């Protein structure tokens, strides 16, 4: 089993839709979790941290479920500019593991 | 702005040649990561530097790969006797928040 897994997609959604991504991780001792976005042929950019209590930033909400070992990202009111690949990141001590990413296309 | 810079931005080399890639992190950042991203794939962790501690080299794919960092400054990633499968974008990150634009390496 891979350490961090994501549905590669693509997720094709209309503008204004709500879309959710999940990411599962295998190491229960993982300490920190993040979501990044990566635009085509660009470097990843940190989107937000993920906490058990949930983390909301505008239209984006991230959640951690330690019992089930997954993290989620919810995007409300999707914009065309949200089209990108969304990477989840899991940190085990000093080891930083990127998921393979989920591709999102927001369609007019 | 004073972000992470990498050079060269593009490098084309012949199989068997050595290449050196450079990363200039953000001043004062003690953590520096190198990742590799092959076309259409996720990020592969290569090596992690934290201050003056011994680097975590667990991600280096072979002994042809090596990296150095002097203190908390510039880092260089060296690939000896390059192979075609080394073709990828090599990304450097200063802490986890700031990625450089990457070096696109093409081995012919």
Q: What is the DSSP string of chain A?
A: --SEEE----EEEETT--EEEEEEES-TT--EEEEEEE-TTS--EEEEE--TT-EEETTEEEEEETTTTEEEEEE-S--GGG-EEEEEEEEETTEEEE---EEEEEE-
For chain A, give the percent of residues with pLDDT over 70. 99
B28-67 residues labelled b (16+ CB within 10 A) or e (exposed): eeebbbbbbbeeeebbbbbbbbeeeeebbeebbeeeebeb
Beta strands in B40-84, from DSSP E residues, in sequence order: 43-50, 65-69, 75-79
Tell which residue, A5, A20, A3, has the closest CA to residue A101. Answer: A5
What is the residue-averaged pLDDT of chain B?
92
Mean pLDDT of B12-29: 95
Chain B residues in contact with A95 (beta carbon < 8 A): 45, 48, 56, 58
Tell which residue, B53, B48, B52, has the closest CA to residue B91. Answer: B48
- Do residues B25 and B4 touch, judged by C-beta distance below 8 A? yes
A3 in contact with B, Cβ within 8 Å: no
pLDDT number for residue B70: 83
pLDDT number for residue B95: 86
**pLDDT at residue B1 is higher than 60:** no
Rounded to whole angstroms, the Cα distance separating A54 from B78 reads 41
Chain B residues in contact with A91 (beta carbon < 8 A): 96
> What residues contact B57, with CB distance under 8 A and at least 6 apart?
B47, B67
Mean pLDDT of A45-59: 91
**pLDDT at residue A88 is higher than 60:** yes
**pLDDT at residue A19 is higher than 80:** yes
Nearest to B56 among A34, A87, A94 (CB): A94
pLDDT number for residue A89: 94
**pLDDT at residue B62 is higher than 80:** yes
Model confidence at B56, in pLDDT bands (50, 70, 90)?
confident
Q: What are the CA-CA distances from residue B47 to residues A24, B37, B65 (Å)?
A: 23, 13, 10
pLDDT number for residue B88: 97
């Amino acid at each position: 089993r891979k350490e961090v897994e994501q549905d590669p997609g693509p997720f094709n959604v209309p503008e204004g839709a709500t879309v959710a991504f999940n990411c599962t991780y295998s190491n229960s001792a993982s300490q920190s979790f993040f979501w990044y976005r990566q635009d085509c042929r660009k470097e990843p950019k940190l989107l937000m941290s993920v906490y058990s209590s949930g983390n909301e930033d505008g239209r984006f909400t991230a959640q951690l479920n330690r019992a089930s070992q997954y993290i989620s990202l919810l995007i409300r009111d999707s914009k065309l500019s949200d089209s990108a690949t969304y990477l989840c990141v899991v940190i085990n001590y000093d080891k930083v593991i990127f998921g393979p990413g989920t591709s999102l296309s927001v369609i007019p | 702005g004073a972000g992470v810079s990498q050079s060269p931005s593009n490098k084309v080399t012949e199989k068997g040649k050595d290449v050196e890639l450079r990363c200039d992190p953000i001043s004062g950042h003690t953590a520096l990561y190198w990742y590799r991203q092959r076309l259409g794939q996720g990020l592969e962790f290569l090596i992690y530097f934290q201050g003056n501690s011994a680097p975590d080299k667990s991600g280096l794919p072979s002994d042809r790969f090596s990296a150095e960092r002097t203190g908390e400054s510039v880092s260089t990633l060296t690939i000896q006797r390059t192979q075609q499968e080394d073709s990828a974008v090599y990304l450097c990150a200063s802490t986890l928040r700031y990625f450089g634009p990457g070096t696109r390496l093409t081995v012919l």
